[in-house]
Chains A and B, each alone.
Chain A
Amino acid sequence: MTLDLILFLVLSLIAVASALGMLLSRNAVYAALFLVLNFVTVAVFYLLLGAPFIAMAQITVYAGAIMVLFLFVIMLLGAESLPGISNWRKIWFPGMLAVILFIEAAYLLIVKARPAGDVLQPGDAVNTMDNLRQLGTSLFNDYLLPFEVVSILLLVAMVGAIILTKKEKGVR
């Protein structure tokens, strides 16, 4: 068993445990913090897979911005404590659906698609600067139009969020 595999197993254990903690937690703040832990673990996976830029973007955007927004809304609404899963008998059907989905996904991804090969070896670890340079070149040459569309999407989302939460004058 190589060191790489041990690292992968430990990290995946943390990722799955934190995802389950998010799923089953009764406190919304704890759920958000479990999700932050999960995002950080996935960022480490990105580093292992030779994608340092994506790992850093994951930390700043997901674990930083998005989860802070979540925590802010949780505290704004005062919705920390949630009713847990009170009726365990009601969840057997969705639980069964989820298990079926997992089996289908595993079958399609592993048996039918048969992905071959190992991921990046630690020996030929990526050069961070090279990775960034190639990513930037590709982003601004081949994917320029999607990039601009995403910028418009972010603008529309910003305007939409402001319009939605703005109190109209004279209504209340």
Chain B
Amino acid sequence: MVPINYYIILSAILFTIGVTGVLIRRNALIIFMSIELMLNAANLALVAFNSVLKSFSGQIFVFFVIAVAAAEVAVGLALIVEIFRTKNSIDVDQMSSLKG
């Protein structure tokens, strides 16, 4: 049997890797993947707590998070494709058309 603390620590590590990806990478696709990683880490923590509490609310919440992630990816990737068509690049540092 594994103590729940281990799962929580693993979830925190994965979340931190996701945050690091958003902060240090400049490619919009990789930033998007890092956001997915963060959502996943939060899901892992939810399911771990759910398993200790022996309730079903955690699993249902994870189900909703997965659905919202799917919607977010559909719109986000459409935006990335549109940005690539206009600027021929998905580097987030170059998206500065509104800069004064």
**Bound form: Cα–Cα A118–B7 in Å:** 10
Cβ–Cβ contact A160 & B75, under 8 A: yes
Give the number of residue pairs across the A-B interface with Cβ within 8 Å: 221
| Interface SS of chain A | helix
Number of interface residues of B (CB under 8 A): 67
Partner of A8, one of B2, B68, B69, B82: B2
Check A154/B14 contact, CB under 8 A, given A22-B37, A135-B60: no
Cβ–Cβ contact A118 & B3, under 8 A: yes
| Interface SS of chain B | helix
**Bound form: Cα–Cα A19–B20 in Å:** 11
Please give the distance in Å from A66's CB to the nearest CB on chain B. 5
Check A70/B67 contact, CB under 8 A, given A62-B40, A105-B16: no
**Bound form: Cα–Cα A154–B67 in Å:** 8
Partner of B74, one of A16, A69, A95: A69
Check: B95 CB closer than 8 A to any chain A CB. no
Q: Which residues in B have their C-beta under 8 angstroms from that of A23?
A: 17, 20-21, 24-25, 30, 34
Interface residues of B (CB under 8 A from A): 1-10, 12-21, 23-27, 29-30, 32-34, 36-37, 40, 43-45, 47-52, 56-57, 59-60, 62-64, 66-75, 77-82, 84, 90
Cβ–Cβ contact B40 & A42, under 8 A: yes
19 sample A-B contacts, Cβ–Cβ < 8 Å, listed by A number: A19-B14, A53-B63, A54-B43, A69-B73, A73-B81, A77-B80, A94-B23, A98-B16, A101-B19, A117-B4, A118-B1, A118-B2, A119-B7, A139-B60, A146-B64, A160-B78, A161-B77, A164-B75, A164-B78
